[in-house]
Amino acid sequence: MSTTTQNLTGQSILAGTQTSGTGREVHGYNPATNEPLEPAYTLIDEQQLKVATEAAAEAFDSFRSLEPTKHADFLEAIADNIEAVGAELVTRAMAETGLPEARLTGERGRTTGQLRLFAKVVRQGDQHGVRVDPALPQRQPAPRVDIRQRKIAVGPVAVFGASNFPLAFSTAGGDTASALAAGCPVIFKAHNAHPGTSEIVGRAITKAVADFGLHPGVFSLVYGPGASIGQALVADPVIKAVGFTGSRSGGTALMATAAARPEPIPVYAEMSSINPVIFFEGALAEDPSAQAAAYLASVIGSSGQLCTAPGLVFVPTGEAGDAFAQAISAQAPAASGQTMLTESIFNSWTQGVEALGSQEGVELLGRGIEGTGKNAPAPTIYSSNVEQLLANSVLQDEIFGAASLVIHYADAGQLKNALSKLEGQLTATLQLTESDYAVAAEVIPTLETKVGRILVNGWPTGVEVGHAMVHGGPFPATSDPQTTSVGTLAIERFLRPVAYQNFPDGLLPKPIGMDNPWNLTRRVDGTLKTVGE
């Protein structure tokens, strides 16, 4: 057993207080060796969870009313604190996940970058969404009273950490950052696969809460079984929304709990996607070998443990598609497996690959070699055709890891029909040249109804964090296709509109005050007015 503790306590942080749980102990594990890592983490019980939820309820009113500059400074302080930890954070994450240093260093930058991006939104006040319909006392046939609208935070939010992103979709990741930016206290349920990483980041958030004099209930970090503590967290009447990234079974279980409450709440769950990539004739005409290499690289990166990994690739039948398939068969044997996040994820990958390979009409196209150490399976590519894809739902099952299926299609009509029968996805990618535009134009309307992001001549395994990004899609990609979990639009999940009719100025909240005390951009009588107008 590793003796490296990195000053970790193995405790939850309940409203600013490090607290030992009353339940069993769990460890993080080094997936390359399956060896446990110190320290042990004690799991809290439902009574201890109440400490966090009640504190979040107490913190809500003061936190949602923060002046924009202080609110933004707080988010930026979290980012600063995470960076101040230094190499310790990446080292611990490497030990718990098997992910390489470069990947985790980049993920840390994405984590702090999105916190600072939300700070800019908060400083500008965009999340308030102010609308003003001024009074029209002389209007005929009936006068109009003054009506003002703003968006307010929904209340405390439960966030569940993802297994595959120990930083960017974890303790201070996109769900936490957007909820805090909206003015919602967060209770974060740590993923038991990387408890030490979660504790390090949780302490960085807790320090920022204390340094800014905020109510300690603004943030809590809890360790507990998902089947009990996770469900109890979602069922708690204090919680008003849920952010989740993980399996379809886990997401739908939380959705059922949230829907069964006396007061149902939204669950924003990102769950399952195979992200179809469509090759047209022109894209394969020049260099199918290079396209095959790019495809394999996208499949193998991070051992395929990305929600945007290309699990399904369409290629035309005939010479171009055959050349692509032959290139995969030639290149795949050199592809080395990478350590997966956990032994259980490795076992699930193995079962999924065996299930796919045993289906009628599915053939092995190429297989790589196992990586060194434990839980590093050989990347595997299968092939089949549209008829089998539509006849057998197993061919559409997500295999979380380095595995993918190549489907040969006969013509644009068959391709369009196949795409229309797919489940909802996070992404779809079009590989094309100008000669393919006409055919691509036929399938784009279908893709718009199936996915949240459509790419041209790229690979989906890379999600830019910005203002225009959509990381969402129809079920089962996400539980709510109207939202995104990446980018500044993610803040909208944790806000709701309130209208104020005929209020005297002395009672108006500052964001919608008559003299615009916070200098916010507003939509006045339907026209957008920037500061100074």
Where in the sequence numbering do the catalytic residues fall?
270, 307
Tokens encoding 366: 């190429």
Within 10 A of 470 (CB to CB), how many other CB atoms are there?
20
Q: Are the C-beta atoms of residues 224 and 189 closer than 8 Å to each other?
A: yes
Q: Is the peptide bond before 137 cis (omega within 30 degrees of 0)?
A: no
Amino acid at 69: T
- Specify the pairing of strand 131-133 against strand 147-153: antiparallel
Say how many CA atoms lie within 13 Å of 220 toward its Cβ. Answer: 32
d(CA 379, CA 389): 21
Q: Report the C-alpha gap between 428 and 447 in whole angstroms.
A: 7
Nearest-angstrom CA–CA distance, 349 and 371:
15
Three-state DSSP state, 377: coil
Q: Tell me how far apart the alpha carbons of residues 72 and 68 are, in angstroms, rounded to a whole number.
A: 6
On whether the CB atoms of residues 110 and 496 are closer than 8 A, the answer is no
Going from the C-alpha of 25 to that of each of 18, 47, 165, 222, 475, the distances in angstroms are 16, 17, 23, 13, 35
- Asked if residues 240 and 392 have their Cβ atoms less than 8 Å apart, the reply is no
Q: Which residue has the tokens 């399952």?
A: 272
Whose tokens are 């089947």? That residue is 227
Tokens 């709440």 belong to 265
Residue type, 245: T
Which residues, listed in sequence order, are joined to residue 380 by a DSSP beta bridge?
367, 403
Q: How far is Cα 276 from Cα 430, in angstroms, rounded to an integer?
A: 9
Sign of dihedral through CA atoms 253, 254, 260, 264? negative
Please, which residues have CB within 8 angstroms of residue 126's CB and are 6 or more apart in sequence?
Answer: 488, 521
